[in-house]
């Protein structure tokens, strides 16, 4: 009887274990299916929201540098081109992965803008998905992570990153930012060199897409605090709190040491980036943007990104740097930021997501906030693409805590989240058409901003491309009225004057452009064209050669120099230049004809020698 009872007990125990394991398996399976449903839902929302962008054009601001006028991108995938992508400082930056992405797109789509837009859209969908998966892996929360991912997916401030082809670097770097975090989560679960190597690889690839990842090691430290709880003693739960100060200090030192290779890579990337920006003339001197003005602008921008997050209207492709700011505006921004930081520090021990979310926002904006001023913008929507994720985390975790006393909080949260996401989706759909073309983007910028010299020049380029010289001249002159030392506007206004037959006026503007930017290769070439038309061969040759010194692969200057040398009777030198042009652009039919004509002007025995080179 005893054996029978024991046997029944064992059977019952095994059945209980089996039931528990089955329940756990079912829970995991349901969780996976929920995740799949969420992923499909997020993908469908982003695809439906941004699908119109597939029919949009290139924007005549940076898209020309990255694709339309970039001869290297248009050569496709070659060994020489891969080397160029890894070593070039074109566009005043070093981001080889971005160049390789655009080169691959050119192989697939040529100059069909739809293909590039579809790649951007795919990357935004991928970023939304991996953001959801990474947060879920860290926190185990499905619905809160869904809210963060949905806000990221549909927020109007992210339009610029998705609809602007030149911002491929932003999308790629964000993808590797999140992949680095996912790799780091795996490492935190089971530390080891193999898993750390995966973290370092993802991090390095991200830096090669855009150096914005330089702050990621410090964000990983924030994630150690919350939600990974690596500041807590192993095996303790959250209720046991933070370790006493001595143990916490030792643990903090260990966590910092863990980040040293990543910090070293960040410093190296920052040095290369600064050098590339300085070489490209993008880093502005203190004399151009005084330090006190930069600090004021940075403080104001921190506040304005949050304002735009809540009230995303009157968005523009470019926000001009203000001549000055009212004291009350800066003071109000300081008070607001200080108050929020104070609340976060006071409540952060109990609500760890406040620390992580708020300092995620502050830290990720540091490289682009304008203390080191790169370009003429005061702020840019694309800079919020990654930074606002920290605020979205605070919203997704904070609202349930605020409403925890209400019995119907689940209903309230669902309605609030749904209405917020729906509202942002409508705003995005309304703002998106401003990116359908250069004209739409610059018209919107001129409507919602003041004294916008970049938008004025952009509109000038639009009308110049259409052959409307009168309107083009007006916008270039307006650009110069706002910023008298704007080299690009001087150069483009001179192009209009040349077409109007006003060579002397054009030459004066080319000289002004070179006075403002002595390294402006196009202006040197264009001034050479003026000299050539005036019969000043020596000055023209100097202009073309100087342009080639500054930009060795400048086919236009090389072609002009070749034709000038041919006119001067320097046939062999001209042939060398024609061949150099064809080496850059082998499909240039006009240059092939010029080379054939030049070869006919030399004796047959020399012709054979030249052909054999």
Domains for the chain: give ranges and CATH numbers.
8-435 (no CATH), 451-534 (1.25.40.10), 553-613 (1.25.40.10)
- Number of Cβ within 10 Å of residue 37's Cβ equals 12
Least confident of 11-15, 32-36, 373-377: 11-15
How confident is the model over 452-461, as a mean pLDDT? 97
**Least confident segment among 69-83, 123-137, 287-301, 341-355:** 287-301
If you search the block for the tokens 């052959």, which residue do you land on?
467
- pTM to 2 decimal places: 0.89
Whether pLDDT at 414 is above 50: yes
DSSP at 379:
E
On the question of pLDDT at 79 being above 80, the answer is yes
Widest pairwise Cα distance in the chain = 120
Q: What is the mean pLDDT of the chain?
A: 89
Return the pLDDT at 577: 75
Model confidence at 47: pLDDT above 70: yes
Alpha-carbon gap, residue 386 to 365, rounded angstroms = 9
- Please tell me the distance from the alpha carbon of residue 213 to that of residue 266, in angstroms, as a whole number: 7
Full DSSP string of 288-332: TS-HHHHHHHHHHHHHHHHHHHHS--S--S-EEPPS---HHHHHH
Calculate the CA dihedral of residues 263, 269, 272, 276 and round it to 10 degrees: -140
CB of 453 closer than 8 Å to CB of 462: no
437/63 Cα distance (integer angstroms): 11
Residue 592 near residue 582 (C-beta atoms within 8 A): yes
Picking from 170, 172, 197, 171, the residue whose alpha carbon sits closest to that of residue 184 is: 197
pLDDT at 14 over 70: no
pLDDT for 507 beyond 60: yes
What average pLDDT does this structure show over 106-130? 97
- Lowest-confidence range among 118-132, 192-206, 277-291, 424-438? 277-291
Confidence of residue 576 (pLDDT cuts 50, 70, 90): confident
Dihedral angle at the C-alpha atoms of 162, 164, 169, 171, nearest 10 degrees? 0
pLDDT higher than threshold 50 for residue 19: no
Of 35-39, 50-54, 84-88, 237-241, give the lowest mean pLDDT range: 237-241
Task: Look up tokens 């070659």; give the residue.
Answer: 78
């Amino acid at each position: 009887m005893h054996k029978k009872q024991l046997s029944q007990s064992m059977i019952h125990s095994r059945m209980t274990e089996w039931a528990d394991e089955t329940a756990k398996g079912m829970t995991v399976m349901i969780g996976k299916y929920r995740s799949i449903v969420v992923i499909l839902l997020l993908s469908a929302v982003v695809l439906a929201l941004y699908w119109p962008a597939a029919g949009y054009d290139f924007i005549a601001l940076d898209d020309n540098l990255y694709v339309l006028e970039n001869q290297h991108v248009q050569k496709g995938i070659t060994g020489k081109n891969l080397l160029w992508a890894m070593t070039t400082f074109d566009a005043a930056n070093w981001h080889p992965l971005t160049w390789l992405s655009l080169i691959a797109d050119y192989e697939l789509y040529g100059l069909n803008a739809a293909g590039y837009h579809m790649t951007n859209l795919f990357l935004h969908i991928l970023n939304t998905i991996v953001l959801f998966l990474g947060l879920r892996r860290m926190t185990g929360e499905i619905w809160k992570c869904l809210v963060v991912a949905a806000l990221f997916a549909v927020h109007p401030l992210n339009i610029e990153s998705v609809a602007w082809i030149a911002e491929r670097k932003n999308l790629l770097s964000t993808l590797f930012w999140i992949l680095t975090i996912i790799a780091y989560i795996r490492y935190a679960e089971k530390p080891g060199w193999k898993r750390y190597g995966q973290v370092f690889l993802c991090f390095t690839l991200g830096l090669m897409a855009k150096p914005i990842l330089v702050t990621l090691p410090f964000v990983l430290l924030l994630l150690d605090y919350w939600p990974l709880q690596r500041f807590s003693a192993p095996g303790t739960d959250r209720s046991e709190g933070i370790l006493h100060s001595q143990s916490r200090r030792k643990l903090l030192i260990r966590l910092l040491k863990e980040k040293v290779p990543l910090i070293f890579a960040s410093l190296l990337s920052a040095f290369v980036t600064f050098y590339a920006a300085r070489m490209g003339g993008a880093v502005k001197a203190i004399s151009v943007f005084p330090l006190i003005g930069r600090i004021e602008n940075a403080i104001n921008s921190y506040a304005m990104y949050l304002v735009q997050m809540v009230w995303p209207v009157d968005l523009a492709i470019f926000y001009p740097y203000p001549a000055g700011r009212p004291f009350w505006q800066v003071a109000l921004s300081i008070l607001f930021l200080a108050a929020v930081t104070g609340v976060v520090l006071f409540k952060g021990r109990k609500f760890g997501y406040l620390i992580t979310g708020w300092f995620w926002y502050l830290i990720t904006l540091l490289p682009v906030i304008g203390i080191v001023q790169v370009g003429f913008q005061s702020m840019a929507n694309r800079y919020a693409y990654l930074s606002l994720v920290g605020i979205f985390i605070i919203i997704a975790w904070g609202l349930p805590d605020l409403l925890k006393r209400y019995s119907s909080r689940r209903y309230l949260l669902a309605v609030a989240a749904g209405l917020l996401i729906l509202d942002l989706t409508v705003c995005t759909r309304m703002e998106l058409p401003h990116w359908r073309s250069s004209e739409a983007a610059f018209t919107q910028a001129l409507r919602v901003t003041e004294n916008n010299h970049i938008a004025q020049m952009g509109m000038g380029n639009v009308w110049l491309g259409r052959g409307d010289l009168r309107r083009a001249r007006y916008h270039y002159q307006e650009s110069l009225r706002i910023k008298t030392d704007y080299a690009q506007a001087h150069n483009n206004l001179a192009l209009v004057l040349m077409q109007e037959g006003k060579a002397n006026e054009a030459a004066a503007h080319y000289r002004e452009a070179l006075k403002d930017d002595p390294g402006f290769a196009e202006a040197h070439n264009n001034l050479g064209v003026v000299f050539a038309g005036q019969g000043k061969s020596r000055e023209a040759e100097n202009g073309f050669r100087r342009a080639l010194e500054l930009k060795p692969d400048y086919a236009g200057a090389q072609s002009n120099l070749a034709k000038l040398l041919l006119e001067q009777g320097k046939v062999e030198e001209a042939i060398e230049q024609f061949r150099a042009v064809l080496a850059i652009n082998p499909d240039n039919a006009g240059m092939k004809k010029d080379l054939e004509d030049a070869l006919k002007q030399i004796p047959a025995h020399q012709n054979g020698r030249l052909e054999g080179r």
